[in-house]
């Protein structure tokens, strides 16, 4: 049976271990970052996808085609509307009409060419967009879950840090200073004796060390230097 002093120190250790665990859990909270990174990469792929360039070109060609058709209507009206007074003027208008029709044909051919390749490209783009939506939804869900976990951990952390000073007061200042020194170096200041080994680093402990712990002496692990705690119930 451990002494009252070591039992009090062990309770402090358990509190410190809980605080350390909460800090590690808080640091490990992802909050949807991995999904956000995946979405960022996917967004870049979508932005650089050939379909976007082809679609933008098609929109521009349609505008040009409309403008060309409007121009043809005006030229036809000018040619056949009775405002032409000379053969020379009629020839000039006809040449402009022919050139405009050739331009219309080029625009139409290019639009048909784009439309032929847009089917598979659009299907691919739709798949990428679907994945992006899934990543964004997963990131939003993970962020919400992380906020809930963070709030819970903050409550637990506040309770543990509030309890620690009272536990520390009950421990001999010299022993407490020794324990805190080990804890600052190793992260934790104590370890159980479990099956003849140190529960923190796993080293097989010498018989004299185990015997000293059983006799309520302050003994440490030769490997990790943590204060060892022996209790028959552990």
Summary mean pLDDT of the chain: 91
- Enumerate the β-bridge partners of residue 193: 198
Q: Which of 171, 160, 175, 117 has its CA nearest to residue 17?
A: 160
Residue 227's pLDDT is: 97
Whether this model's pTM surpasses 0.95: no
Arithmetic mean of pLDDT, 189-214: 95
The DSSP 8-state label assigned to residue 171 in this structure reads S
Cα–Cα distance list, 86 to 1, 91, 100 (Å) = 123, 9, 21
| Per-residue pLDDT reduced to its tens digit, 63-82 | 999 999 999 999 988 888 87
| Per-residue pLDDT reduced to its tens digit, 101-118 | 999 999 999 988 888 877
| Per-residue pLDDT reduced to its tens digit, 118-128 | 778 888 889 99
Which pair of structure tokens corresponds to residue 124? Answer: 């691919």
In the three-class reduction of DSSP (H, G, I as helix; E, B as strand; rest coil), residue 230 is classed as: coil
What is the C-alpha to C-alpha distance for residues 66 and 63, in angstroms, rounded to an integer?
Answer: 5
| Per-residue pLDDT reduced to its tens digit, 221-231 | 999 999 999 98
Q: How many CA atoms lie within 13 A of 64 on its CB side?
A: 17
pLDDT bracket for residue 234 (50, 70, 90):
very low
């Amino acid at each position: 049976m451990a002494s009252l002093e070591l039992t009090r120190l062990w309770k402090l250790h358990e509190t410190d271990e809980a605080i350390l665990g909460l800090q590690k859990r808080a640091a490990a909270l992802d909050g949807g970052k991995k999904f956000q990174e995946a979405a960022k990469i996917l967004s870049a792929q979508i932005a650089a996808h050939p379909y976007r360039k082809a679609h933008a070109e098609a929109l521009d060609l349609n505008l040009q085609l409309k403008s060309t058709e409007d121009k043809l209507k005006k030229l036809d009206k000018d040619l056949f509307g009775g405002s032409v007074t000379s053969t020379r003027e009629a020839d000039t208008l006809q040449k402009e009409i022919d050139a405009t029709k050739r331009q219309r044909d080029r625009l139409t051919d290019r639009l048909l060419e784009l439309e032929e390749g847009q089917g598979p490209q659009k299907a691919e783009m739709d798949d990428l967009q679907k994945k992006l939506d899934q990543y964004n939804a997963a990131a939003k869900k993970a962020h919400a879950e992380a906020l809930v976990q963070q709030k819970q951990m903050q409550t637990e952390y506040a309770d543990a840090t509030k309890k620690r000073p009272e536990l520390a007061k009950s421990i001999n200042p010299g022993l407490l200073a020794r324990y805190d020194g080990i804890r600052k170096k190793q992260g934790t200041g104590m370890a159980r004796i479990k099956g003849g080994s140190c529960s923190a680093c796993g080293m097989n402990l010498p018989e004299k060390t185990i015997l000293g712990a059983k006799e309520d002496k302050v003994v440490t692990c030769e490997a990790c230097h943590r204060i060892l705690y022996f209790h028959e119930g552990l």
